[in-house]
């Protein structure tokens, strides 16, 4: 990943709010935070909304701010809301911190890379600082059942890890192409070590053209979750996309089913 975190949106208007350089006492660098508001947010001043916090926020909404392509997450979320297909969430895009990304998005230290292992501190920033700020600034439904966390690649890894660490905060997880390989599949061991299954709803997906061993690793995560009590089609959805590579365009194609699974119309 290149260090392009300071490229801020220039073409986004209307339903977006930018909070630049959100500072934390837990992590080394500030994070820009870009918030996408649901349809009707400004016309109904009493309605409250679920929230989905997403990693690598500069890639979600606008090609001008992205370092690798955009997910078109705003257009897809709005389209689903117009169709009445989802309970539309507030989407909080948390920009990654460039050179600090690998540290913040990984749960353990990699001695060979001399990097990683600060996911717990990054999680404290999310739980103790960013979430209270978002809940105080916007009309949110703050309970665990209405709060999601998601990302792809290392962002998927950290989302799954922090979701398991903070099951009383994040009740929905969007885990796209997680970097299961990190630290000899640490995340699989972490799932197996769970003492009790939390009431967490999980979307898990991977592409068959992401690289050698990737699908098999994702299946290990799925299997570990099922052993702990998650049930496919109920609180776990697992998708393998034939021919899909490890990139933003592939993940953009999964936004629709992911949002429908995690935020169904109620």
Among 35, 39, 33, 34, CA closest to 77: 39
* Per-residue pLDDT tens over the stretch 59-69: 999 876 666 67
Domain boundaries, the chain: 16-262
- 8 Å CB contact between 230 and 197: yes
CA–CA gap between residue 245 and residue 256 (Å, rounded)? 18
* Per-residue pLDDT tens over the stretch 158-185: 999 999 999 999 999 999 999 999 999 9
Topology, domain 16-262: Rossmann fold (3.40.50)
CA–CA gap between residue 92 and residue 17 (Å, rounded)? 10
User: pTM of the entire structure?
Assistant: 0.95
What pLDDT sits at residue 113?
84
What pLDDT sits at residue 42?
94
- 8 Å CB contact between 90 and 38: yes
Among 130, 119, 144, 124, CA closest to 93: 130
Name 169's Cβ contacts closer than 8 Å, sequence gap at least 6. 127, 131, 144, 147
What pLDDT sits at residue 121?
98
Residues of the chain with pLDDT under 50: 1-6
230-237, long-range: CB within 8 Å, 24+ apart, which pairs?
Answer: 230/197, 230/202, 235/199, 235/200, 235/201, 235/202, 236/201, 236/202, 236/204, 237/202, 237/203, 237/204, 237/205, 237/261
What pLDDT sits at residue 3?
39
């Amino acid at each position: 990943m290149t260090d392009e975190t300071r490229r801020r949106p220039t073409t986004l208007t209307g339903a977006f709010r930018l909070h630049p350089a959100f500072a934390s006492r837990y992590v080394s660098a500030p994070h820009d935070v870009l918030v996408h508001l649901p349809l009707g947010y400004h016309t109904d001043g009493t309605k409250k909304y679920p929230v989905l916090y997403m990693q690598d926020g500069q890639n979600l909404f606008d090609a001008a701010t992205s370092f690798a392509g955009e997910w078109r997450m705003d257009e897809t979320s709005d389209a689903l809301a117009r169709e009445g297909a989802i309970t539309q969430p507030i989407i909080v895009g948390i920009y990654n911190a460039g050179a600090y990304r690998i540290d913040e998005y990984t749960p353990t230290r990699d001695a060979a890379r001399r990097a990683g292992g600060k996911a717990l501190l990054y999680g404290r920033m999310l739980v103790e600082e960013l979430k209270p700020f978002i809940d105080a600034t916007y009309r949110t439904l703050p309970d665990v059942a209405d709060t999601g966390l998601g990302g792809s690649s290392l962002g998927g890894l950290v989302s799954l890890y922090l979701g398991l660490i903070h099951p009383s905060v994040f009740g929905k997880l969007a885990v796209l192409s997680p970097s299961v390989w990190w630290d000899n599949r640490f995340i699989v061991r972490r799932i197996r070590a769970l003492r009790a299954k939390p009431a967490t709803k999980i979307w898990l997906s991977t592409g068959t053209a992401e690289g050698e061993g990737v699908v098999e690793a994702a299946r290990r995560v799925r299997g570990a979750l099922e052993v702990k009590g998650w049930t496919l089609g109920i609180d776990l959805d697992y998708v393998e996309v034939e021919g899909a590579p490890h990139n933003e365009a592939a993940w953009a194609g999964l936004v629709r089913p992911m949002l429908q699974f995690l935020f169904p119309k109620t």
